[in-house]
């Protein structure tokens, strides 16, 4: 039987929300193995002088647990 764990992260980008999601998955993959999926929970942004300056995406990363 496979067990899947889910962890919540926030990805950040100066470019876009899509890039923020990609950054979250890429950075998570450095320490989390067997990532099987990502769910975007919500997106937010910082605003300065009426312009979006930082995109943020809250995501849930799913990954399978393995025996070691």
Indicate whether 68 belongs to any domain.
no
Q: What is the CATH number of the domain that holds 27?
A: 3.30.1660.10
pLDDT tens-digit series, residues 14-51: 999 999 999 999 999 999 999 999 999 999 999 999 99
**Looking at the domain assignment, is residue 9 inside a domain?**
yes
pLDDT higher than 60, residue 1: no
In eight-state DSSP terms, residue 50 is T
C-beta separation of 5 from 26 below 8 A: no
Confidence of residue 2 (pLDDT cuts 50, 70, 90): confident
Show the tokens assigned to 12.
Answer: 């950040």
Domains contained in the chain, number: 1
Query: Strand, coil or helix: what is 25?
Result: helix
Range of the domain at 58: 4-63
Q: What is residue 68's predicted lDDT score, i.e. its pLDDT?
A: 61
| Residue 45 C-beta-side C-alpha neighbours within 13 Å | 16
Average pLDDT over residues 3-10: 95
| Assigned domain for 32 exists | yes
Would you state the pLDDT for residue 66?
76
Quick one: residue 54, left, alpha or beta (phi over 0 = left, psi -120 to 50 = alpha)? beta
């Amino acid at each position: 039987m496979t067990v899947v764990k889910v962890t919540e992260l926030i990805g950040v980008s100066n470019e876009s929300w899509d890039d923020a999601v990609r950054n979250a998955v890429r950075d998570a993959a450095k320490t989390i193995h067997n990532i099987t999926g990502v769910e975007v929970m919500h997106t937010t942004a910082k605003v300065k002088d009426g312009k979006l300056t930082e995109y943020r995406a809250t995501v849930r990363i799913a990954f399978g647990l393995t025996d070691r």
